A and B are shown apart, each in its own frame.
Chain A
Amino acid sequence: MGMRTMKRMPANAKIANRLFVAAAGLSASSPILFLLLITGIVLVQSIPALRWMGWHFLTGITWNMGSVYGAMTVKNGVTAPAGASYGALPFIVGTLASSAIALVIAIPISLGTAMILAYRVRGVVKSALSIVVELLAGVPSVVLGLWGVVVLAPWVSSALGPFLTHFGPAIPFLKGPVGTGMGLLTSGLVLALMVIPIITATTRDLLERVPLHYREGGVALGMTNWEVVRHICLPHIRDGMIGSIALGWGRAMGETMAVLMVSGSAVNMLPHNLYSPISTMAAVIADQLDSAMTDASHMAVHALSALALVLLMLTLLTNLAARLLVNRSRGSRRIDLGVRV
């Protein structure tokens, strides 16, 4: 009898375990709670603007608060100042185009850097380079924006832009005029700088985890370093690469401050070439929220919320698509192992 009671779990251990399970469950469910909450609020806030504009919210190119101090009009059951029009297409295009340019620049550079870091340099050089890459990820975006305005935009305007216009006859989008340098290309370049450390760090880790005996197999067949990376390592890390690119893309689409500073803040126009001023959804929200508050009908705020909704959906879709791609190629390789807590 004495032995039996001794073997039983003490009461405080039981309570501690219950607390642990409850706390862990709460923490684990908080991401989904936050996501639902944020999406819900943004959705509710954007409904009036979506009713006001209908599908034209996605296809219109005029973004105008109307005469805020004038008479109100009612359309589709919602009230807004006369002349208010919210067409988000230029901002959607600006976001997609600038982030796409960023990825086109960032992917090869990140891959090259990751290759060097994983397979080429060793010892002190390797740690120094790795630290630099991580430091780059930590540069505040407002600092990058400032650099973009002071250094990058003038360079794009006076050197890179004029150079690229030579290809204008072949690729119409590269035709001038180049303008001030504040615009699509400079935004893409600044965004590339922010995305490179993200993709580089992940890719480096992935490359380092490719089993040595596969790489040696390629090397022993007389493959060059690049051939080994291209034909053996890249197929091996494909899934993870897609994930890290999606992560970088999400970052590029959501980036606000740096883009706001170098985008040229275009309104009511679509980009007509690589150098034209743009605006992105994130930049417009940050830029216009202050003046939107002056709209007594709150329609301007609702419109910015709708913009936020589109941005949120795009980011979620990007991540989901990446997930799907990854899962489709992988099947379900992950096996549930170990002790259930």
Chain B
Amino acid sequence: MGKSIAVENLRAWYGDQLTLKGIDMELEANRATAIIGPSGCGKSTFIRCLNRLHETVPHSRVEGEIRLGDEDLYRMDPVDVRRVVGMVFQKANPFPMMSIFDNVALALRLNGIRRKRELFERVEKSLRMAALWDEVKDRLRDPATALSGGQQQRLCIARALAMEPDVLLMDEPTSALDPGSTLRVEELIEALKSSYTIVIVTHNMQQAARVADRTAFFLNGELIEYGDTATLFTKPADPRTEAYVTGRFG
């Protein structure tokens, strides 16, 4: 089951550049939250703070507090954080030297699941959840790179789901996909959001409107507006939000 995330006065730097200027935000459990905003607004940095990936970048820095359920994210071991907060990237990044099966099984093996039967069941379950099973069940030993772009991205989702995370972060997961694959990933988000807390960064406002329960608008490292998706798109409270969602900039 998903957990809620509470962000308090989150500030993040790349070198001297302040990319997040104090974000306060509550992300609800078992809901999909979309983060929208123009390029460079800090939305990717924001979700990369939620699994503590931001701090792996040279010369980066983070301040503030993030609570996952009732735990302080920045007091946990970052490796443990990433085991409960999964992530899917903009560019599908299945491990190229591994088979489809091993891409999903690797992290499970590293977590001590060794028995073949259990491993296979978990891999199958994850691939089914990612709506990929039927397409790959007969070629699990093929290299992951033999899959199409959309399939690779769903493989990455399956890989993240195999860890049974509480939260699933998605950083523009469909921006490199064709419309058909995009639709399949969106359907997937729809199906997953009842059991995971999903945070999706997107450039595509229709996508936010389609999949997200709540939407947040970021601009220049600040959270401008955050609310129910329908409200944010139809009756934005802030003129800057209105300008962005009506396509006047960004």
Rounded to whole angstroms, the CA-CA distance of A23 and B160 in the bound complex is 57
Within the complex, the shortest CB–CB distance from B200 to chain A, in Å, comes to 15
A222: chain B residues within 8 A (beta carbon)? 79-83, 107, 163
**How many A-B contacts at CB < 8 Å in the complex?**
59
A236: chain B residues within 8 A (beta carbon)? 96-97
Whether B95 pairs with A220 at a CB distance below 8 angstroms is no
* Minimum CB distance partner of A231 in chain B: B106
Given known pairs A213-B93, A214-B93, the reply for A220 and B51 (CB within 8 Å) is yes
Whether B53 pairs with A216 at a CB distance below 8 angstroms is yes
B80: chain A residues within 8 A (beta carbon)? 222
CB within 8 Å of A: which of B105-127? 106-107, 110
B163: chain A residues within 8 A (beta carbon)? 221-222
Main secondary structure, interface of A, reads: helix
CB of B43 closer than 8 Å to a CB of A = no
Whether B87 pairs with A220 at a CB distance below 8 angstroms is yes
CB of A313 closer than 8 Å to a CB of B = no
Interface size class of A (residues with CB under 8 A): 10 to 19
CB of B136 closer than 8 Å to a CB of A = no
Whether B96 pairs with A220 at a CB distance below 8 angstroms is no
CB of A166 closer than 8 Å to a CB of B = no
Whether B79 pairs with A223 at a CB distance below 8 angstroms is yes
Whether B159 pairs with A235 at a CB distance below 8 angstroms is no
CB of A205 closer than 8 Å to a CB of B = no
* Minimum CB distance partner of B82 in chain A: A222
Whether A213 pairs with B53 at a CB distance below 8 angstroms is no
Rounded to whole angstroms, the CA-CA distance of A214 and B96 in the bound complex is 8
Within the complex, the shortest CB–CB distance from A227 to chain B, in Å, comes to 6
* Minimum CB distance partner of A217 in chain B: B93
CB of B91 closer than 8 Å to a CB of A = yes
CB of B156 closer than 8 Å to a CB of A = yes
CB within 8 Å of B: which of A281-332? none
CB of A146 closer than 8 Å to a CB of B = no
CB of B74 closer than 8 Å to a CB of A = no
Of A213, A221, A236, most B-chain CB atoms within 10 Å: A221
CB of B244 closer than 8 Å to a CB of A = no
Within the complex, the shortest CB–CB distance from A159 to chain B, in Å, comes to 38
CB of A272 closer than 8 Å to a CB of B = no
A227: chain B residues within 8 A (beta carbon)? 110
Within the complex, the shortest CB–CB distance from B83 to chain A, in Å, comes to 4
Whether A220 pairs with B83 at a CB distance below 8 angstroms is no
* Minimum CB distance partner of B109 in chain A: A231
Whether A218 pairs with B95 at a CB distance below 8 angstroms is yes
CB of B98 closer than 8 Å to a CB of A = yes
Encoded as 1 (CB less than 8 Å from any A CB) or 0, chain B from 20 to 61 comes to 000000000000000000000000000000010100101100
CB of B150 closer than 8 Å to a CB of A = no
CB of A104 closer than 8 Å to a CB of B = no
Rounded to whole angstroms, the CA-CA distance of A219 and B86 in the bound complex is 10
* Minimum CB distance partner of A220 in chain B: B87
Q: What 5 additional pairs, Cβ within 8 angstroms, besides A220-B89, A221-B86, A232-B95?
A: A216-B56, A219-B82, A221-B107, A222-B163, A223-B79
Chain B positions within 8 Å of A, measured between CB atoms, are 51, 53, 56, 58-59, 79-83, 86-87, 89, 91, 93-98, 106-107, 110, 156, 159-160, 163
Residue pairs across A and B with Cβ atoms less than 8 A apart, 25 shown, are A122-B59, A213-B89, A213-B93, A214-B95, A214-B96, A217-B93, A217-B156, A217-B159, A219-B53, A219-B82, A220-B53, A220-B82, A220-B160, A221-B82, A221-B107, A221-B160, A222-B79, A222-B83, A223-B79, A223-B110, A227-B110, A231-B95, A235-B97, A236-B96, A236-B97
